[in-house]
């Protein structure tokens, strides 16, 4: 497996110099962050990002993410324009030698939490999702802004988009996803690109918005509907694992051969539809990380894996969930599991 690390570019408080010192680190997961959603990514910008990373003896091995325009997700008549742009971005990424692309199909908002600095017993803090609190949050009120959220919309535009989604069922959203995939997967095949959809986070509806990549059944349906090895998933332990009803080992088996990227994150279930993120260790959370990595290993996964959200420890400040220290510990823990499995 290729140990990798998320880096948000030059504005990230975590530097490439620091990342390269993490034992076993080979890959960087990043993106072009200043191009509006739906617009074509410039080949020159992609190459510039790649060269910055390579100067630090690391490889840009995953793009996370190429955002999908809301008009594609909603299935509007204008979606083909944005899909054409998406195809061109894929071609530019392939031309630059980048072959694994993570994306999601979550309406409006990326991953959602109700608290960014919830205390843990060891004195650290982490991201927390409390379903009761989320139900009281007005997504248009500015009460909560999280990394990954597209904040470029004006409030009036955002309200209109959210209102439009109220008439879109989960089946319609899935149909729109499959329409999108039937258009872009042939390009991915031509360009030797692996598309890896990230699950909804959390894996249930929020703010009255539908969700479609939430469980084994959804994954199987999506993979079978567009049956190509280039159409795969990002297996995120924390997203799928937030729902106790999801059997992570069964999802891995169902997606065997179609898992192109892995996010390793642990969560502790703290109530119905509520959880708090923990260290990556199996003993600290509700996810048996050792069994998950072993299952991935046994299913032949050799692609990029990154330690996902970590705690904020040792007084570190910065982007919530994306501190250097705990994710570095997570990478070391994952490397220990992988090294042990390699001796089997």
Among candidate residues 263, 280, 284, 333, the one labeled active-site is 263
Active site residue 221: no
Whole-number Cα distances in Å, 59 to 20, 22, 47, 250? 10, 14, 12, 31
Cβ neighbours of residue 48 closer than 8 Å, sequence gap 6 or more: none
Active site residue 56: no
Active site residue 260: no
- SS3 for 265? coil
C-alpha–C-alpha distance, residues 156 and 164, integer Å: 12
Active site residue 179: no
| Helices (H) then strands (E): counts for the chain | 12, 12
Active site residue 198: yes
At 118, give phi and psi (nearest 5°): -70, 130
Among candidate residues 198, 201, 240, 333, the one labeled active-site is 198
The one-character DSSP state at 206 is B
Q: Quick one: which H or E segment has residue 197?
A: strand 194-197
Active site residue 299: no
Query: Do the Cβ atoms of 54 and 48 come closer than 8 Å?
Result: no
C-alpha–C-alpha distance, residues 160 and 108, integer Å: 11
Query: Do the Cβ atoms of 11 and 44 come closer than 8 Å?
Result: no
- For β-strands 274-277 and 125-129, DSSP reports them as antiparallel
| Tokens 């799928």, located at residue | 240
Among candidate residues 236, 284, 326, 333, the one labeled active-site is 236
Catalytic residue IDs: 198, 236, 263, 308-309, 322
């Amino acid at each position: 497996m290729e140990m990798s690390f998320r880096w948000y570019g030059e504005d990230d408080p975590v530097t490439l110099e620091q990342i390269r010192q993490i034992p076993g680190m080979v890959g960087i997961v990043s993106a072009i962050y200043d191009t509006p959603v739906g617009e074509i990514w410039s080949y020159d910008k992609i190459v510039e990002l790649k060269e910055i990373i390579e100067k630090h003896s690391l490889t840009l091995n995953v793009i996370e993410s190429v955002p999908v325009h809301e008009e594609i997700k909603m299935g509007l008549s204008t979606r083909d324009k944005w899909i054409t742009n998406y195809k061109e971005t894929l071609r530019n990424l392939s031309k630059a030698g980048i072959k694994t692309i993570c994306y999601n199909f979550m309406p409006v908002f990326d991953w959602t939490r109700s608290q960014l600095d919830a205390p843990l017993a060891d004195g650290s803090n982490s991201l927390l999702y409390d379903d009761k609190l989320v139900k009281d949050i007005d997504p248009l009120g500015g009460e909560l802004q999280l990394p990954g959220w597209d904040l470029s919309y004006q409030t009036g535009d955002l309200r209109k988009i959210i209102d439009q989604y109220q008439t879109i069922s989960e089946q319609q959203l899935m149909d729109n996803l499959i329409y999108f995939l039937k258009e872009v997967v042939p390009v991915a095949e031509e360009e030797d690109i692996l598309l890896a959809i990230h699950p909804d986070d959390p894996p249930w509806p929020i703010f009255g918005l539908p969700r479609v990549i939430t469980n084994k059944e959804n994954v199987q349906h999506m993979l079978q509907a567009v049956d190509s090895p280039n159409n795969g998933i990002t297996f995120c332990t924390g997203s799928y694992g937030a729902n106790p009803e999801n059997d992570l080992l069964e999802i891995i088996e169902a997606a065997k051969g179609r898992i192109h990227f892995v996010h390793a994150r642990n969560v502790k279930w703290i109530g119905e539809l509520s959880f708090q993120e923990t260290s990556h260790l199996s003993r600290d959370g509700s996810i048996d990380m050792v069994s998950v990595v072993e299952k991935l290993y046994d299913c032949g996964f050799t692609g990029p894996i990154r330690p996902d959200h970590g705690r904020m420890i040792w007084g570190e400040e910065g982007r919530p969930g994306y501190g250097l220290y705990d994710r570095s510990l997570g990478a070391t823990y994952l490397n220990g599991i992988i090294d042990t499995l390699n001796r089997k």
